[in-house]
Amino acid sequence: MKQFIFSLLVLCDVASPVLHSLKYFYTASSGVPNFPEFVAVGMVDELQIDYYDSNTQRAQPKQDWMDKVTTDDPQYLERNTQIYMNTQQIFKVDIETLKKRFNQTGDRHIVQRMYGCEWDDETDAHDGYEQHGYDGEDFIVFDLKMMSWIAPSPQAFITKLRWDKDKADLENKKYYYTELCIMWLKKYLNYGKETLQRTVPPSVSLLQKSPSSPVTCHATGFYPDRVMVFWTRDGEELHEEVEHGELLPNPDGTFQISAELSLASVRPEDWGRYACKLQLHGLRDDIITPLESGRIRSNRAKASSVGVAVGVVAAVVVVMVLVAAGVALYKKKKNEREKCLPPGSDNSSELSEKLNPPPDVSVEN
């Protein structure tokens, strides 16, 4: 399964307390059993808002508040359905093109695309990004600041040359990522403000499988995902002997996260100096949980149950990563470049006023 996933979700950009995002993820596959040939997912602030696949061939809203969108815009679902269906056909051609480009003959391949925008509601700063991947590797990336394409793969260089020459399409992308995408993001935030801009405090527990195991500070059930959790000693953040877990979604739309503290160098008489601190956007005060033996859930049966629960959620995350097809690639690249990754837009200025996600361009073009 790893060859179809860019990488697992990592916590990297959750420290920005006012950064909102609108992202779309497309996955086209061939020869992958029990998986649709094409899947599209839209997300606002990491919350799924719509879904389409080649089996249903219909865009479907995934949040109750999306009914407000379709009420105000009756053609919304039909319009997005047509966009996804057109993209599905383009991606089928892309797979065959890329197989020839890479001199491949096998049937099992996957093409992915992630695009979207971000907006800071305090500074009004915004950014856009678009990335394409093939068989789990970077293929080509759009740099909004430079208004050009980056080709990490040698096989993508011919595509880069062709797309860089299309100045009209580059301008359309700039319009989409700097204006149209931001406009839709603000619309979604307004429609779903009761959900997207709510604050739900977490439940924090200290877990330990055995007396010699690390102590895990586990926080779950919180929203939004803009959170920091870490261990402290005498009020100062610890960096050594601490392992940070991934930010994981819960089935109810909330999130969970954990941080492990190794007790190898912690003397029992010094436990009172240690604490787990959690900071959540929207909460005025930090949540501090002291390292005390009475707070630790160490019963093996309970720990096993917690492990099973976390394992189930992790399995859900793997499926979501497959469907989302590129979240982690985006976050990884944010650490490597200065948010230089933007998305595509419509080829018609008149039509682009009406579209939400932009149509795709074949790698052959």
Band of the pLDDT at 254, cuts 50, 70, 90?
Answer: very high
| Residues in Cβ contact with 122 at an 8 Å cutoff, skipping those fewer than 6 apart | 18
Sketch the domain layout of the chain as residue ranges. 2-195+322-352, 203-318
> Is the distance from CB of 40 to CB of 87 less than 8 angstroms?
yes
Q: Scan for tokens 């230089």, then name that residue.
A: 340
Do the bridges between strand 126-134 and strand 137-143 make them parallel or antiparallel, or are there none, so unpaired? antiparallel
d(CA 336, CA 138): 13
State in words which class domain 203-318 has. mainly beta
Q: What percent of the chain has pLDDT over 90?
A: 68
pLDDT (mean) for 83-89: 96
Task: For domain 2-195+322-352, give its CATH number from 3.40.50.300, 3.40.50.10470, 1.10.150.300, 3.30.500.10.
Answer: 3.30.500.10
Nearest to 131 by CA among 345, 322, 342: 342
Q: pLDDT tens across 204-239, in order?
A: 999 999 988 999 999 999 998 889 999 999 999 999
Tell me: pLDDT of 340 over 60.
no
Pair of tokens at residue 343: 């998305």
Instruction: Determine whether 230 is exposed, middle or buried from the number of CB atoms within 10 Å of its CB (0-12, 13-18, 19+).
Output: middle
Tell me: pLDDT of 13 over 50.
no
Q: Is the pTM of this model over 0.95?
A: no
Q: Scan for tokens 């100062």, then name that residue.
A: 236
pLDDT (mean) for 277-290: 95
Band of the pLDDT at 357, cuts 50, 70, 90?
Answer: very low
> Is the distance from CB of 68 to CB of 191 less than 8 angstroms?
yes
